[in-house]
Chains A and B, each alone.
Chain A
Amino acid sequence: MSFVEIRGFGKAYGATPVFADVELDVAEGEMCILLGPSGCGKTTLLRAVAGLARPDRGRLVIAGRDVTAASPEARGVAMVFQHYALFPNMTVRQNLAFGLQQKRLPRARIAEKVDAALALMELAPRADARPAELSGGQKQRVALARALVLEPRLLLLDEPLSALDAQIRKRLRDELKRLQRETGFTAILVTHDQEEALVLGDQVAVMNAGRIVQAGPAREVYDRPATRFVAGFIGDFNLLEPDAVRRVFGEQADHAWAIHPEAIDLLPTAAEHGGLTAEASVIDVRIHGPVLRYLVSANGTELKVDVLNRSSIAARCPGDTVRLRLDRAQVREVA
């Protein structure tokens, strides 16, 4: 039995369904990522888990207790909102203390817990600032601290990093992972950033149009996309229809092929090889930090190919002719 069990969740606003038949299991101490395009119902699903929106159908169990009808504060759930939702009239310290005060904890106990949370999130120097005086990353940390200080059984995070610029985003992402390792909280995190999903997720659930189309360990979702949509959304696949497969590799295929850009090798034309091969010409090269991304054209079909950016490898230029090599085992057939 999982720590969080979502069974047959469904919700509609009027005639338009927002999500339907959602089934999701999250193990204790696991970080589950909800990944999906804008408007697919991620926020609404999260709000339903928190008890802020009532699902029309379905059951929710947290820590062995059916909380489908429980009020938000009775679920032991905390949430970090997309726009932080900090109380603008209160200082950082007051924001963190608010939830503990509602629990009627003794004053000294509250101060103790707040101080610990401030220290954990490295917010102590800004403890008496108001949200308007904080940077985006600091606000984000306050929102996280306000949620964690209640020691929730389940932490919900709605695109916690999306409002931040790339640098801080990466740093906070690592910090979040570290916090989870240290405190061991169970979390469901919403994002539409596939890299974030893969880095943070123990489990990744891909959503589309109100349904979970695939859920599983991050590695598995990345390696074995179940549908064309997942392949398109995660990992930047090359998607080849059966007739393109025939033209490029001369193979007969029943379904479309999804091929990771890093699964294809670029070889000199004369090299020895096994596996599937094709002639191609380089259209473009881009440096993506540690990898070089080639755009090549093989028999009229464009393919993305990633190669490790090592100085020992001579870069090829647009117009060069190359040989593509592909291990048949790297190919995923998607319906």
Chain B
Amino acid sequence: MPEPSGSLADRLLIGVVSLLLLLPVLAVVVSALATDWYSGLVPSGLTLQWFARVLAEPAFQAALARSLFVAAGSVVLQVLVTVPAILVAHCYLPWLDRWMERLMVLPYALPQVVLVVGLLGLYAGGPLPLTGTPWILLLGYLPLAFPLLYLPMKNNLRALRVQELLDAGHLLGAGDLVIARRVILPCVAPGLAVGLSMVFALSFAEFVFANLLVGGNFQTLAVYLFGQRTKIGQVTAVIVVIYFAAMWLSTLAALSMLRRRPI
């Protein structure tokens, strides 16, 4: 975060903007703790009963577990597929790298419904019939998450002279894999940490794919929340607070990874 500058007007502006940004979050937190909040500027009392109630709900527990599974699975899949792909393209296949850069926004340029229809068609039959299983979600998130990893990793990679590092490593008797593990990966760790925490957040909270691709078969937290929308307000507030907590924890995890590896 940039240092607040000395001028009073600047500080006032930053204060007001921060307040505006924080207010909805605070409102949700207060709402999750309110006994009831139907009239008046403040709730009539505070209680943890909504948290207790939601956390004890088996449907909620199952949805939370599913979302955590999808988010963790997504992170693992990205580490296994996308990360090596980005490294290989950057080091050996510049033409592929250029195409990655051009095509990366495609999943965001198309309406999500179009993507869903495409994914359903792709995985309906053929060699990988995955419709209705959580695996289709993981594969569907692969292109969505790609730019989240590509951009921060490329940022780090561009600052390295990868070819010279490979040359230097070869002359010192190391193979490409050793150099990747001991030099290149540690150097891109900051970008990787940021990217993976965003992948985690995206996969944990995503709704459209989760609802349309697997929906009732595999109810994630987002879909469960959607089902609860007509019920008591405090319950949705509790779920949203749990979302915030998860995002916050994954961001913290990423930041601590950054601190551990100062470059």
Contact with A along B168-181 (1 / 0, CB 8 A): 11111110001000
Q: Determine how close the nearest CB of chain B comes to the CB of A99; give it in whole angstroms.
A: 4
Among B160, B167, B173, the residue within 8 A (CB) of A81 is B167
Q: Determine how close the nearest CB of chain A comes to the CB of B187; give it in whole angstroms.
A: 5
Known: A47-B167, A89-B183, A89-B187. A99 touches B161 (CB 8 A): no
Among B161, B164, B170, B261, the residue within 8 A (CB) of A73 is B170
Inside 8 A of B178's CB, which chain A residues have their CB? 102
> Within the assembled complex, what's the spacing in Å between the Cα atoms of A86 and B168?
8
Please name 14 further chain A to chain B contacts, defined as beta carbons within 8 Å, in addition to the given A52-B170, A52-B171, A85-B168, sorted by A numbering: A47-B167, A52-B167, A72-B167, A72-B170, A73-B171, A73-B173, A78-B171, A83-B164, A85-B164, A87-B183, A88-B160, A89-B261, A102-B178, A130-B263
Inside 8 A of B168's CB, which chain A residues have their CB? 79, 81, 85-87
Q: Which of B129-175 contact A (CB under 8 A)?
A: 160-161, 164-165, 167-174
Q: Which of A46-98 contact B (CB under 8 A)?
A: 47, 50-52, 71-73, 77-79, 81, 83, 85-90, 98
Q: Which of B7-54 contact A (CB under 8 A)?
A: none
Whether the Cβ atoms of A102 and B172 lie closer than 8 Å is yes
Known: A89-B183, A89-B263. A102 touches B167 (CB 8 A): no
> Within the assembled complex, what's the spacing in Å between the Cα atoms of A23 and B12?
73
Whether the Cβ atoms of A77 and B171 lie closer than 8 Å is yes
Most buried by A among B160, B165, B167, B261: B167
Q: At the interface, yes or no: A132 with Cβ under 8 Å from chain B?
A: yes
Q: At the interface, yes or no: A244 with Cβ under 8 Å from chain B?
A: no
Residue of A nearest to B161 (CB): A83
> Within the assembled complex, what's the spacing in Å between the Cα atoms of A73 and B187?
24
Q: Determine how close the nearest CB of chain A comes to the CB of B29; give it in whole angstroms.
A: 40
Give the A interface residue count (CB, 8 A): 26
> Within the assembled complex, what's the spacing in Å between the Cα atoms of A121 and B169?
21
Contact with B along A36-50 (1 / 0, CB 8 A): 000000000001001
Nearest 4 interchain pairs by C-beta? A99-B172, A102-B173, A73-B173, A85-B168
Q: At the interface, yes or no: A171 with Cβ under 8 Å from chain B?
A: no
| A→B interface (CB under 8 Å) | 47, 50-52, 71-73, 77-79, 81, 83, 85-90, 98-99, 102-103, 130, 132, 146, 150
Residue of A nearest to B178 (CB): A102
Q: Determine how close the nearest CB of chain B comes to the CB of A51; give it in whole angstroms.
A: 8
Q: Determine how close the nearest CB of chain B comes to the CB of A318; give it in whole angstroms.
A: 49
Q: At the interface, yes or no: B216 with Cβ under 8 Å from chain A?
A: no
Inside 8 A of B118's CB, which chain A residues have their CB? none
Inside 8 A of B171's CB, which chain A residues have their CB? 50, 52, 72-73, 77-79
Q: Determine how close the nearest CB of chain A comes to the CB of B249; give it in whole angstroms.
A: 26
Q: At the interface, yes or no: B186 with Cβ under 8 Å from chain A?
A: yes
Residue of B nearest to A143 (CB): B168
Whether the Cβ atoms of A99 and B173 lie closer than 8 Å is yes
Inside 8 A of B167's CB, which chain A residues have their CB? 47, 50, 52, 72, 79, 81, 85
> Within the assembled complex, what's the spacing in Å between the Cα atoms of A90 and B167?
17
Residue of A nearest to B164 (CB): A85
Residue of B nearest to A132 (CB): B263
Cβ contacts A to B, 18 pairs, < 8 Å: A52-B167, A52-B170, A52-B171, A81-B168, A85-B161, A85-B167, A85-B168, A88-B183, A89-B183, A89-B186, A89-B187, A90-B182, A98-B169, A98-B182, A99-B172, A99-B173, A103-B173, A130-B263
Inside 8 A of A90's CB, which chain B residues have their CB? 182-183
Inside 8 A of A78's CB, which chain B residues have their CB? 171-172
> Within the assembled complex, what's the spacing in Å between the Cα atoms of A132 and B173?
24
Known: A83-B161, A88-B263, A130-B263. A150 touches B187 (CB 8 A): no
Inside 8 A of B182's CB, which chain A residues have their CB? 87, 90, 98
Most buried by B among A50, A86, A88: A88
> Within the assembled complex, what's the spacing in Å between the Cα atoms of A90 and B173?
17
Residue of A nearest to B160 (CB): A88
> Within the assembled complex, what's the spacing in Å between the Cα atoms of A52 and B172?
12
> Within the assembled complex, what's the spacing in Å between the Cα atoms of A103 and B173?
7
Q: Determine how close the nearest CB of chain A comes to the CB of B122; give it in whole angstroms.
A: 40
> Within the assembled complex, what's the spacing in Å between the Cα atoms of A90 and B165?
12
Inside 8 A of A86's CB, which chain B residues have their CB? 168
Inside 8 A of A77's CB, which chain B residues have their CB? 171
Residue of A nearest to B170 (CB): A72
Inside 8 A of A88's CB, which chain B residues have their CB? 160, 183, 187, 263
Inside 8 A of B161's CB, which chain A residues have their CB? 83, 85
Inside 8 A of A52's CB, which chain B residues have their CB? 167, 170-171
Inside 8 A of B165's CB, which chain A residues have their CB? 85, 87
Q: Determine how close the nearest CB of chain A comes to the CB of B142; give it in whole angstroms.
A: 28
Q: Determine how close the nearest CB of chain B comes to the CB of A133; give it in whole angstroms.
A: 10
Most buried by B among A87, A88, A90: A87
Whether the Cβ atoms of A98 and B263 lie closer than 8 Å is no
Inside 8 A of A47's CB, which chain B residues have their CB? 167
Q: Which of B170-229 contact A (CB under 8 A)?
A: 170-174, 178, 182-183, 186-187
Inside 8 A of A79's CB, which chain B residues have their CB? 167-168, 171
